[in-house]
Amino acid sequence: MKQHLGRQSGVQKVEVSLLDGKVDITPKEDGQIEPAGLLKATYDSGVSVAEMDITARGKIVKDASGNLVLQVAPNRSFALVPNDLAKALETFAGTSTRLTIRGQLYKKPAGKKKAESSPPLKLAILEVQSKE
């Protein structure tokens, strides 16, 4: 699995802890890392992903439907799960404030061994680490 993940674009370092099943991925600074690709690469290596958390920095914007998204690059954004933490960030929508957010991007559905397809990943904010 480490080799599978290490071959993904934008991955600088992969650390695997066999004991507790944790995988830490350090992205390269080229911004090419693709979380959905990492999920697929992990499944392809024969391992099931229980959950994926990311720490990302970006701006809060509203998409065409008025939903909040975290825009981490001009061409990359994550739709936010509308939880209390996300609602509290609505005031930052459209501003230039850059937020560093830790959130859950994927969690394996309960009772299923493997995700059926690949639904769009939504970011459930767990913590707002900084506002600049």
Residues lying near another protein in the complex (CB under 8 A) are found at 1, 16, 18, 21-31, 33, 35, 38, 42, 46-58, 72-76, 100, 108
Minimal distance in Å, beta carbon 58 to another protein? 5
The single residue listed with the structure tokens 């958390």 is: 53
Minimal distance in Å, beta carbon 105 to another protein? 8
Q: Considering beta carbons, is residue 66 or 74 the nearer one to another protein? A: 74
Minimal distance in Å, beta carbon 93 to another protein? 18
Q: Considering beta carbons, is residue 16 or 93 the nearer one to another protein? A: 16
**Tell me, what amino acid is at 61?**
V
6-12 long-range contacts (CB < 8 A, ≥24 apart) are 7/41, 8/33, 8/34, 8/37, 8/38, 8/41, 9/33, 9/34, 9/37, 10/34, 11/38
Q: Considering beta carbons, is residue 76 or 122 the nearer one to another protein? A: 76
List of residues 6+ apart from 46 with CB closer than 8 A: 1
Minimal distance in Å, beta carbon 96 to another protein? 11
